[in-house]
């Protein structure tokens, strides 16, 4: 979901050019192209894309880069954990996982008005969010057999991330003040997030989901890396091959099953939550669970809990997005805060009456 990001792109280009020159003192005649930052970009972090060219040892060089800038205005998340995103991507990249190579982290806000990190621009295309890839776009245009190959490649990338998560090395994500396990920490984080986002306004479906979750906590509560926003729309594809996993704003130590629950919930949201049919060739729910379990060696336990937790988390995001549109005087559909695709799907999972008519 996009947001307007006001910025003088030429001023930013010159600042980036100077900054990159300091990072690469061996690069002669370093030049940064015009920045690509359309008036509407991602809803949580600003993204700037550009090409850089220089001369080194008498030979011309060039590279395509992406800068992610820490949010400074309206926040979707209670905490952004911006520097931790860079650390996780760096660690996964060292292990050969399918993430874009990250080059630098800049904590000094004087360059672009906020901390930022720089990563390689990967070739490929991401499936659409709105409209959903079930309605239009390159996945929609594929034949079912090619679409199935794409789904397999996406699942292989998800499994690879989860195999890495189980080897440890991500203890720096721990927030022991919120609980003794990674999942407990996430539960307390989203309890705080729901109160912060709702700001005293009733949230019938989200509140019902929270009550259900408290009464159905898994006996096994893991502490392992969770991507957080695990879905095909956060992957880059060349043809039917997944080349990179993107967007780590929701990372935690909640464990791989949190990602599986989110993947399944977002799959429903991208079809059922938008009153669309799922495309032929994309793996079914049962196929997704079987592929994930075989690939990770983990039992897909407590899935009802993790899917409802995913719905609660998404409902909190939708509350903050509704407030974002309100703050920027951007028209939002209907009663977006309490009646949206996420709360529609979540209500069905909880056997509740839908919060209203679908959009």
Say whether both 101 and 220 belong to one domain. no
d(CA 104, CA 119): 7
**Residue 4 buriedness (CB in 10 A; 0-12 / 13-18 / 19+):** exposed
137 lies in a domain? Answer: no
Q: What is the CATH number of the domain that holds 47?
A: 3.30.200.20
Say whether both 163 and 257 belong to one domain. yes
Say whether both 58 and 156 belong to one domain. no
358 lies in a domain? Answer: no
Say whether both 77 and 171 belong to one domain. no
133 lies in a domain? Answer: no
Q: In terms of residue numbers, what domain contains 252?
A: 144-349
What pLDDT score was predicted for residue 263?
98
- Total domain count, the chain: 2
Say whether both 85 and 149 belong to one domain. no
- DSSP string covering 53-106, please? EEEETTEEEEEEEEEEE---SS-SSS---HHHHHHHHHHHHHTT-SSPPEEEEE
Whether 162 and 259 have beta carbons less than 8 Å apart is answered as: yes
What pLDDT score was predicted for residue 290?
98
Of 265, 263, 356, which is closest to residue 308 (Cα–Cα)?
A: 265
132 lies in a domain? Answer: no
Say whether both 331 and 200 belong to one domain. yes
Say whether both 331 and 247 belong to one domain. yes
What pLDDT score was predicted for residue 141?
98
238 lies in a domain? Answer: yes
- Which helix or strand (DSSP H or E) is residue 117 part of? strand 116-120
What pLDDT score was predicted for residue 41?
42
Q: Which residues of the chain are under the pLDDT cut of 70?
A: 1-6, 38-44, 359
SS3 12: helix
Angle between helices 303-327 and 182-198 (to 10 degrees): 30
Say whether both 23 and 55 belong to one domain. yes
**Residue 53 buriedness (CB in 10 A; 0-12 / 13-18 / 19+):** middle
Q: What is the CATH number of the domain that holds 221?
A: 3.90.1200.10
Say whether both 95 and 152 belong to one domain. no
Say whether both 108 and 171 belong to one domain. no
Say whether both 73 and 167 belong to one domain. no
- End-of-domain residue from the set 120, 153, 179: 120
Whether 85 and 66 have beta carbons less than 8 Å apart is answered as: no
What pLDDT score was predicted for residue 6?
66
Of 359, 357, 340, 334, which is closest to residue 205 (Cα–Cα)?
A: 340
Which residue has tokens 């292989």? 156
What pLDDT score was predicted for residue 4?
53
Say whether both 113 and 175 belong to one domain. no
- End-of-domain residue from the set 105, 120, 135: 120
pTM of the predicted model, to two decimals? Answer: 0.94
356 lies in a domain? Answer: no
């Amino acid at each position: 979901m996009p947001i307007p990001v006001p910025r003088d792109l030429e001023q930013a280009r010159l600042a980036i050019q100077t900054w990159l020159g300091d990072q690469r003192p061996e690069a002669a005649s370093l030049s940064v192209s015009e920045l690509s930052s359309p008036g509407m970009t991602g809803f949580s972090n600003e993204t700037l894309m550009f090409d850089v060219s220089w001369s080194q040892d008498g030979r011309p060089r060039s590279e395509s880069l992406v800068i992610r800038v820490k949010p400074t205005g309206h926040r979707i998340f209670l905490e952004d954990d911006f520097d931790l995103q860079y650390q996780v991507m760096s660690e996964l990249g060292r292990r050969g996982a399918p993430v874009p190579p990250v080059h630098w982290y800049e904590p000094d806000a004087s360059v672009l008005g906020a901390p930022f990190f720089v990563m390689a621009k990967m070739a490929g295309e991401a499936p659409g969010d709105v409209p959903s890839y079930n309605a239009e776009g390159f996945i929609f245009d594929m034949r079912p057999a090619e679409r199935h190959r794409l789904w397999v490649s996406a699942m292989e990338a998800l499994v690879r991330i989860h195999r890495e998560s189980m080897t440890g090395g991500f203890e720096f994500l721990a927030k022991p003040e919120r609980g003794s396990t990674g999942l407990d920490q996430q539960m307390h984080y989203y309890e705080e997030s729901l109160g912060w986002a709702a700001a005293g306004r009733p949230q019938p479906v989200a509140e019902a989901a929270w009550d259900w979750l408290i009464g159905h906590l898994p006996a096994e509560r893991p502490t392992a890396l969770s991507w957080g926003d695990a879905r095909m729309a956060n992957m880059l594809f060349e043809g039917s091959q997944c080349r990179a996993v993107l967007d780590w704003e929701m990372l935690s130590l909640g464990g791989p099953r949190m990602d599986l629950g989110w993947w399944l919930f977002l799959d429903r949201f991208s079809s059922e939550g938008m009153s669309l049919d799922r495309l032929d060739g994309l793996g079914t729910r049962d196929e997704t669970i079987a592929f994930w379990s075989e690939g990770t060696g983990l039992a897909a336990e407590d899935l009802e809990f993790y899917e409802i937790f995913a719905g609660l988390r998404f409902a909190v995001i939708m509350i903050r997005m509704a407030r974002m549109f309100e703050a920027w005087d951007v028209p939002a559909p209907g009663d977006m805060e309490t009646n949206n695709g996420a709360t529609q799907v979540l209500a069905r999972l909880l056997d509740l009456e839908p919060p209203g008519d679908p959009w």
